[in-house]
Homo-oligomer: A and B are copies of this chain.
Amino acid sequence: MSHLLAAASLEPAQVTRLLLAMAVLLGLARLMGEWARQLGQPAVLGEILAGILLGKTVLGAFAPEAYVWLFPTEPGSPIAIAEEGFILMSATLLLLVVGLEVDLSTVWRQGKAMLSVSAFGIVIPMAIGCSLGWFVPTLLGADPELPDNLRLPLAIFVGIALSITALPVIAKILMDLNLARSDMGMLVISSAMLNDLVGWIGFAVVLALMPVGGHGDHAAAAAGGGASVAITIGLTLLFLGLMMTVGRWLAHKSMPYVQSRWSYPGGVLGVVFVIALLCAAFTEYLGIHSIFGAFIAGVAIGDSHHLRERTRDTIHQFVTNVFAPVFFASIGLRIDFVASFDATAVGVVLAVALIGKVSGCWLGATLAGLSRRESLGVGFGMAAQGAVGIILGQLAYQAGLITDELLVAIVIMALATSLLAGPAMQIVLKLKTQRQLHTMLSDKHVVLDPGSGTIREVLSVLCRRAAECNPGQDATDLFRAVWAREQAMHTALPHGLAVPHARVDGLAKPQVLVARCREGVDFDAADGQLSRLIFLILTPTDQPDTQIEMLALIAKTFDASDTRQRCMQAATPAEFRAVLNQVTSEAGHDLTPHDNETLGMA
């Protein structure tokens, strides 16, 4: 009776620390994620770096008390457990979202290419990895005194560790690059999926081969020996088969029922989450990690066209902006990259992983008929190891199979390949970042209501501002060029827009400034309206096409009357730009599925 409320295990002081730790982790991860994005990198890179900064390597080295206070290291600490539980939920929900993004019809369409890429992408690095693990384990920092009965498991583990692909990392990178729904993105994701499946099953083999059971209450471990491996593989394939047929069908059929009777749109949310948690629990029970089940649940559910865009978007926004940053930051948190650094092991593991994986996948993709460039893109995408490699390494470490040094080498390799995948794909595929108006404007480029409105005055204000933003330019010269163009023919567009412009020598990149004049300026528009949004477009003389591109961009952006109205109401330059950012994001969201053609892979 004395423990009526037995579960009150977190003291108020621990609650404070837990909340603070989560705030700091999420806050820094989001901040650095946005920085990475602004530097043109995938957000996930910033999020992983945030974890390294807050973790053992940096905060732990320079302010160890603060590190241990926020992220306690003593085993069994309630705060660490609660943090781990939250990170586990984050990983589960993240993989659910990744699964929801998978479009099975595209996967099937890729059938041959996918099989080719994943077969070569597994066999080649695994062959190299197994040989290394078997013949020269010490080169990888393995224990020289390793008992003989651990040599085979170690060799297979190294093979698997080098052949795995990080589904969550590569999915996020593909999303960031706007390739997630492209044919190439689907090829990479579906190959990675098959790859992961083989990897997890292989890892179950490794665990089954280990002399000591070591690994909790897996269904397989309970059976023991070779039979256990067969059971794990069998159950996994059975689960996969059932989810892809019966599960998919059930989800598709029950969705309208839930949407018609339960509260909308939230009712479906709960159902989706419960299914994901159940599948995650089941695969964890099988011994192939919870995130695999969440992923499969996402694939099965996401395939139903009854799942409405609004529900998908709610899940997607919430998970990618709250759970994913926490999860990725957590990767770097617990590892000291300085103390356990073995240069040889790191170099060998990284080189072999990259060469094996890129060449294997490149070969598979080329044989499947992709162009050289595309095949290389697939190779670098598949080389990203990220979280999955780290999780596998961590499990092997806990099972006593690998040393600190090999673990650190695997983790660094996983991070490096993840860091490399995005930029490498960008370069190899020659992805051109599409210009967006809101990224071209800083607060200084927006002039709100510059006083009395003749064309001359507005233009001279804009040119002065342009000269301030570009130290090399002179306001008078700019004005003369713009004014000459304006007198040749007025630059009004319909709906109260005007786009005075000029080509300018010595400009590094195109510039856009905007003056918003509530009272309107007479640019002699064809529709008789006064111009209220006046864009000054300055383009480098040596980029003759850019001017027309900028004109089209402005016309497209302000085509909707809602956008124009909201810009008219903005009270500050920041608000003005916020409107543009929102409009662009919303438009971008709608366009994603049709954008595949840009890759020329349709």
Contact = CB atoms under 8 A, between A and B. Distances in A.
Nearest to A8: B398
Contacts of A259: 578, 581-582
A247 interface: no
A296 to B, nearest CB: 14
A9 to B, nearest CB: 5
Contacts of A290: 15-16, 19
A37 interface: yes
Contacts of A572: 256
A234 to B, nearest CB: 19
A360 interface: no
A75 interface: yes
A285 B313 CA distance: 36
Contacts of A281: 16-17, 19-20, 23
A335 B5 contact: yes
A73 interface: yes
A260 B445 CA distance: 13
A339 B6 contact: no
A261 B35 CA distance: 10
A254 to B, nearest CB: 9
A376 to B, nearest CB: 28
B322 A269 contact: yes
Interface string A258-289: 01111111110111011001101100110100
Interface in A13-43: 13, 15-20, 22-23, 26-27, 30, 34, 37-38, 43
A109 interface: no
B88 A15 contact: yes
Given A38-B261, A264-B585, A580-B260, A269 B318 contact: yes
A27 B266 contact: no
B577 A26 contact: no
Contacts of A284: 12, 15-16, 19
Contact of A85 (B10, B71, B256): B10
Interface stretch (A131-139, A156-164, A210-218, A526-534): A210-218
Contacts of A74: 6
Contacts of A215: 12
B270 A321 contact: yes
A317 B269 contact: yes
Interface stretch (A76-84, A462-470, A473-481, A547-555): A76-84
Contact of A265 (B9, B278, B585): B585
Contacts of A23: 274, 277-278, 281
Interface in A299-348: 306, 308, 313-315, 317-318, 320-322, 325, 333-336, 339-340
Given A26-B277, A321-B269, A4 B287 contact: no
Nearest to A80: B7
A433 to B, nearest CB: 15
Contacts of A271: 30
Contacts of A80: 6-7, 9
Contacts of A37: 263
Contact of A287 (B12, B43, B265, B404): B12
Contacts of A577: 256, 260-261
Given A26-B270, A34-B263, A9 B582 contact: no
Which has the most chain B C-beta neighbours within 10 Å: A5, A30, A280?
Answer: A5
A257 interface: yes
A118 interface: no
A488 interface: no
A429 to B, nearest CB: 22
Contact of A438 (B4, B260, B334): B260
A273 B321 CA distance: 10
B19 A277 contact: yes
A4 B574 contact: no
A72 to B, nearest CB: 8
Contacts of A15: 88, 284, 290
Which has the most chain B C-beta neighbours within 10 Å: A287, A334, A580?
Answer: A334
A57 to B, nearest CB: 12
A262 B34 contact: yes
A407 interface: yes
Interface in A345-366: none
A186 to B, nearest CB: 23
Contacts of A407: 4-5
A285 B8 CA distance: 17
Given A6-B73, A71-B7, A264-B581, A89 B86 contact: yes
Contacts of A73: 3, 6-7
B81 A267 contact: no
A315 B319 CA distance: 11
What 9 A-B pairs have minimum CB-CB distances, sorted nearest first?
A: A82-B85, A266-B321, A23-B277, A30-B270, A260-B577, A19-B281, A260-B578, A264-B585, A259-B578
Given A4-B407, A270-B325, 5 more contacts: A6-B80, A11-B216, A16-B217, A76-B76, A313-B314
26 contacts: A4-B335, A4-B407, A4-B408, A7-B72, A9-B77, A12-B217, A12-B218, A15-B284, A16-B285, A19-B278, A20-B277, A20-B278, A23-B281, A26-B270, A26-B273, A27-B274, A30-B267, A85-B86, A259-B578, A260-B575, A264-B582, A265-B582, A266-B318, A270-B322, A308-B582, A314-B317
